[in-house]
Chains A and B, each alone.
Chain A
Amino acid sequence: MKLVGAILILITTTIVGWEYSSRLSRRTKQIRYLKIAFEALETEMVFGMTPLPYACEKVSYQLISPLKSLFTNVAKRLKEEENSAQEIWCSSVKSWKNKTDLSEAEINILLQFGQTLGQQDLEGQRKQIRLAISYFDQEEKQAVESQQKFESMYKSLGFLGGVLIVIIML
């Protein structure tokens, strides 16, 4: 009986450890996709002159979950609701952030980007997108670093933590 319990504890803590470490790698991946998304958005807005709702829709086709849902949602709301783009973008980002592994820093970049969305002329809009992308670049670097540092640590910490609990309880 004791043995079964010990194995169960070990399995749980290991899974938790794995989850934490994979969160790190998912964050890096999602930041990369954010960059791709913003580059696509730039192309649509600046070169394609596509209206914002349709630009967001087109960008969403090129993305995978969870980013896809943000752009799909924004595009849908822009078409249906009568509200400023800034309002729609920010509230969409806020309700969407729990579905992602992004940290507060990235969410803040997104929110800040939303403040001027669709309200500036071509040059200004382009600068805003470029600025967001350069912020994401930095965040990506930092995310890669912490991934390298902590990824294996979380994994082994999970397993070893389990071992510790088992030993104490024995």
Chain B
Amino acid sequence: MKEVLQVLPESVRKLTFSLPSNVMNEIEEIRLRVNRPIEVRTHTKTYVLREQSTPIIFSEGDGALMMSLLSQHSVYRLEEELKRGYITISGGHRVGLAGRVVMNKGEVKGIRDISSFNIRIARQKKGVAKKFLSQIQYRGSWCHTLIVGPPKSGKTTLLRDLAREISIGTSTPVRPMNVGIIDERSEIAGSVKGVPQHDFGVKVDILDACPKAEGLMMMIRSMSPEVLVVDEIGRKEDGDAIMEAVHAGVTIFASVHGENLDDVMRRPTISHLFQQGFFQRAIELNASTKKGVVRKLESDQKTSIGKIRL
């Protein structure tokens, strides 16, 4: 939280501090839009920042100041970030940006005149993966596992903690393993200048901001990982690269957007992964109940082997 407060303009920061501490600990998003009131969102509720019951308005000047604070007065360093539309700040939090897009030769070159900031607070929830560990291993090694869930159901949080548990390896009979993370959207590790901002134990290597398909192969060639972790697979290349990786003897942990497992299995781009029986386990997450169901996949049939509350 400290890192987030540092990038807020003084006036906003003061008001954020005045929120009750139980709200402070649960903030998931802070939304700042030029000429609009400021919203602070937790998982269940939305609060508007008020000064003596009148909502304060985020001015254009505040926006410019915030951009200065975000970039350490150096927007010229944010070329890549402005192209992708978000900035990762220390602590692994992400600030999404919207404004006027500048094009160059038909490609997005960056965003100027930024009018909306969305700060997504990253919270490492250590221990969420613990209950799943015993069900995703088989005879002393990890199973290829797919995590399925709609947005905000905690896929990335779970994936992050799984990576940590696998690399530390103390709470399971499986020995600690080298974990390679391909973090295309800088969300799993929240790297700043390549250094992960979350705790992963020792045996973790991260390819930050690398496209998944290329990243999987790069990792296998260069870092000899035993487990590979990828977020949000979905394109055809991803599926192909995962097949390659499985043939190279690496265990895969992946997450994918989807309401449930059936929904994902029907998707043409990655359905062949199921048909060929690559994934041995699937964890289905539910956004509203925050429950996870582990399923054992054997080529085409699927059996539920236990429900676990996150």
Q: Which residues of A contact B (CB under 8 A)?
A: 45-46, 49-53, 55, 78, 82-85, 117-122, 124-126
Contact = CB atoms under 8 A, between A and B. Distances in A.
A118 B74 contact: yes
Contacts of A53: 72-73
Contact of B67 (A82, A119, A122): A119
Contact of A122 (B64, B69, B72, B76): B76
Given A51-B73, A84-B73, A119-B68, 12 more contacts: A45-B76, A51-B77, A52-B73, A53-B72, A55-B74, A78-B73, A82-B65, A118-B73, A118-B74, A119-B67, A121-B78, A126-B76
Contacts of B73: 51-53, 78, 84-85, 117-118
Interface string B56-83: 0000000011011101111111110010
B77 A85 contact: no
Nearest to B68: A84
A71 B185 CA distance: 37
B64 A118 contact: no
B237 interface: no
Contacts of A126: 76
B74 A122 contact: no
A51 B68 CA distance: 11
A55 B82 CA distance: 21
7 contacts: A49-B76, A51-B72, A82-B10, A119-B64, A121-B78, A121-B82, A124-B76
Given A82-B10, A82-B69, A45 B82 contact: no
Size range of the interface on B? 20 to 34
What is the interface of chain B mostly: helix, strand, loop, or mixed? helix
B234 interface: no
B84 to A, nearest CB: 14
Contacts of B68: 84-85, 118-119
B110 interface: yes
A163 to B, nearest CB: 56
Nearest to A122: B76
A45 B74 contact: yes
B8 to A, nearest CB: 10
Nearest to B102: A121
Nearest to A52: B73
A121 B79 contact: yes
The 7 closest A-B pairs by CB, nearest first: A118-B73, A85-B73, A52-B73, A51-B72, A125-B76, A122-B76, A51-B74
B194 to A, nearest CB: 14
Contacts of B65: 82-84
Interface string B167-211: 000000000000000000000000000000000000000000000
A52 B110 contact: no
Nearest to A49: B77
A120 B76 contact: yes
Contacts of A118: 68, 71, 73-76
Contacts of A83: 65
Nearest to B104: A123
A82 B10 CA distance: 8
B10 to A, nearest CB: 6
